[in-house]
Amino acid sequence: MTTHDVPDGLRVQGFRTRRSFGFAAMSQQATIAAALVLIADGTLGARFPGSLLVTVPLTLALAGLTAARRHGMPALAYYWAVFAWRRADRAGATSYRRVLLPQPYALDLPGVGASSVLVAAHDPTTDRPVGVVHDRSTGAMTVTTLLAPGGTLMAPTSAVRAGVRTWSSVLDEMSIDEQILGAQVTIQITPGAGEALADDVRARRRPDAPRLALDTIDELVRTTPRATASVTQWMSVSVDPTATANPPVDLAEQVAEALRVVDTLDMSGTGADIVRRATPDDLRRLVRCAFDPGVHDAREEQFAELSWGECGPVAADDLQEEYVHDGSVSVSWVLREMPRRPIPYSVLLPLLSPGRFQRRVTLSYRVLDPREGEAVLEREISNAEQRAAATAQVRGRATWSQKADRQRAERAAHQAASGAQVVDWTLRVTTTARRAADLPGARQELERAVKATKGIRMRPAFGAQAATFMAGLPIGYQPLVK
């Protein structure tokens, strides 16, 4: 489906990046810091005039790095991330070896997943086992729901609009529930080697079928062994079970409270078909297959025998632009900027199309409560007005981009006043190659998929490849949650 095939009613807009008011292209915090440093330079220069030859050029250089941009971020933040990664690399903090770690840390996942632990629970409403991931550092509980692969490209316009409205209602429920910290929806596409297709055809093949049909299907299985792909979808909701009038005391009560909160979210009518709550074996499979895509078609019994720490890698290295784990190499990109023009609801289709390498696309949400959302939008309008006024004083008029940005901020405030919710969200994409030699091909495939979206701008997660990789897994790691 091209962008011309989508009706105007199925186009979305209103995406906006938060921007604070500051001098030049600096943020408000950077401007205040630069002003304080300049005052300190002047105070010191009043007593020691020779110090101005060193302090003023250094301050101006740091301010210039803050105002400049590199890959869509302040250049100072980029170079600081590079410096921090190199310092961690020299200290050995970017390498993980499970066999060398003492107990009990050998039972943990690496990096940001070290504080997570898998809790096996029983859901009395469905009489099924449920896997709940408990974050021991924050106390948050994460419940994952498996979704059925599907789509709305062939659905009528009315059905798509109904799904969007229903999803908006789900976001409304998240905004008024203080126990819900955040949520994320992940779609993982794993290319198959043909075994799944051959097994499915073999089980459904009828000997009494017409010879032409049998020959056609046999040739299809034989000539397209790599034309299959396994699509797995899930939604993870992070809950704070203690954010209630009567907080639960023990772990069992906290798990029960988390399941109760997640059950209040009604996903019916959103266009996503719910399969079931993820079991402990499902979570082990999702995590293990992310680190080692080669075990995707393994039997369920093999995952049931794994401990939570064994689902992670035996060895991993967090490089500046790659993440090496168990012989595989992953590259993660993060959202830089959304298009300012209206875009079709199918804009992510190129990222969700199967390719040669495993790909995981994650949408993370944090719905702001109505008061916080209103305060954020009012602050954004004030910042937009101040930037336009400052530019008008220097150049005689504000730029057209500043005027358009102010209009978008006012439009968002009007929508929020009419009942819409303000959502902090981001997009992450991870692609995994099973061999280091295939990394250039995986990177090129990801770049082409991003360009095919025709407007979405993304960049590599510099110095945070491991954390971005883990953020796409159902382990409860939510960077948007404060």
pLDDT in tens, 131-158: 999 999 899 999 999 988 766 666 677 7
In this predicted model, what pLDDT tens digit does every residue of 356-374 receive, in sequence order?
Answer: 899 999 999 888 888 888 8
Q: How confident is the model at residue 164 (pLDDT cuts 50, 70, 90)?
A: confident
Instruction: Tally the C-alpha atoms within 13 A of residue 393's C-alpha that lie toward its C-beta.
Output: 7
Nearest residue to 135 via CA among 143, 125, 127: 143
Q: How confident is the model at residue 176 (pLDDT cuts 50, 70, 90)?
A: confident
Return the SS3 of 443.
helix
Token pair listed for 233: 């979808």
Nearest residue to 236 via CA among 271, 262, 269: 262
Give the residue, 414 or 118, on which the prediction is more confident.
118
Look at residue 4 in the predicted model and tell me its pLDDT. Answer: 46
341 has a pLDDT exceeding 50 = yes
Look at residue 57 in the predicted model and tell me its pLDDT. Answer: 79
Look at residue 27 in the predicted model and tell me its pLDDT. Answer: 63
CA 136 distance to own-chain centroid = 22
In this predicted model, what pLDDT tens digit does every residue of 247-301 receive, in sequence order?
Answer: 888 999 999 999 999 988 887 767 777 888 999 999 999 999 999 988 877 778 8
Look at residue 472 in the predicted model and tell me its pLDDT. Answer: 93
- Contact yes or no for 120/131 (Cβ under 8 A): yes
Beta bridge partners of 232: 188
Q: How confident is the model at residue 22 (pLDDT cuts 50, 70, 90)?
A: low
Give the lowest-confidence range in 70-79, 126-135, 220-229. Answer: 220-229
23 has a pLDDT exceeding 50 = yes
Buried b (16+ CB within 10 A) or exposed e, 104-132: eeeebbbbbbbbbbbbebebeeeeeebbb
Look at residue 26 in the predicted model and tell me its pLDDT. Answer: 62
Look at residue 1 in the predicted model and tell me its pLDDT. Answer: 44
Give the residue, 33 or 49, on which the prediction is more confident.
49
Task: Say how far apart CA 454 and CA 4 lie, in whole Å.
Answer: 13
Look at residue 216 in the predicted model and tell me its pLDDT. Answer: 86
Task: Say how far apart CA 223 and CA 214 lie, in whole Å.
Answer: 14
In this predicted model, what pLDDT tens digit does every residue of 433-477 receive, in sequence order?
Answer: 998 899 999 999 999 999 998 888 999 998 889 999 999 999 989
CA 202 distance to own-chain centroid = 38
Query: What backbone torsions phi and psi does residue 199 show, to the nearest 5 degrees?
Result: -65, -40
Look at residue 154 in the predicted model and tell me its pLDDT. Answer: 62
- Contact yes or no for 357/433 (Cβ under 8 A): yes
Nearest residue to 168 via CA among 365, 342, 29: 365
Token pair listed for 352: 């969700």
In this predicted model, what pLDDT tens digit does every residue of 211-228 receive, in sequence order?
Answer: 888 888 888 777 665 557
235 has a pLDDT exceeding 60 = yes
Q: How confident is the model at residue 54 (pLDDT cuts 50, 70, 90)?
A: confident
Residue 180, judged by CB atoms within 10 A of its CB (0-12, 13-18, 19+), counts as: buried
Give the residue, 182 or 41, on which the prediction is more confident.
182
2 has a pLDDT exceeding 60 = no
Token pair listed for 213: 């049909």
In this predicted model, what pLDDT tens digit does every residue of 27-44 receive, in sequence order?
Answer: 666 666 767 777 777 787
Nearest residue to 334 via CA among 401, 430, 416: 430
Give the lowest-confidence range in 163-177, 180-194, 233-247, 355-369. Answer: 163-177
Query: What backbone torsions phi and psi does residue 419 show, to the nearest 5 degrees?
Result: 115, -5
In this predicted model, what pLDDT tens digit does every residue of 392-409 receive, in sequence order?
Answer: 877 888 888 888 888 888
189 has a pLDDT exceeding 60 = yes
414 has a pLDDT exceeding 60 = yes
Q: How many CB atoms lie within 10 A of CB 14?
A: 12
174 has a pLDDT exceeding 80 = yes
Nearest residue to 62 via CA among 20, 26, 28, 87: 26
Three-class DSSP labels, 2-54: CHHHCCHHHEECCCCCCCCCCCCCCCHHHHHHHHHHHHHHHHHHHHCHHHHHH
428 has a pLDDT exceeding 50 = yes
Look at residue 29 in the predicted model and tell me its pLDDT. Answer: 65
313 has a pLDDT exceeding 60 = yes
- Contact yes or no for 403/151 (Cβ under 8 A): no
| Mean of pLDDT values over 200-217 | 82
Token pair listed for 114: 């070290």
DSSP for 46-90 reads: HH-GGGHHHHHHHHHHHHHHHHSEETTEEHHHHHHHHHHHHHHHH
Give the residue, 334 or 15, on which the prediction is more confident.
334
| Mean of pLDDT values over 232-236 | 92
Nearest residue to 434 via CA among 255, 293, 331: 293
Look at residue 481 in the predicted model and tell me its pLDDT. Answer: 82
Cα pseudo-dihedral 443, 448, 452, 453, rounded to 10: 10
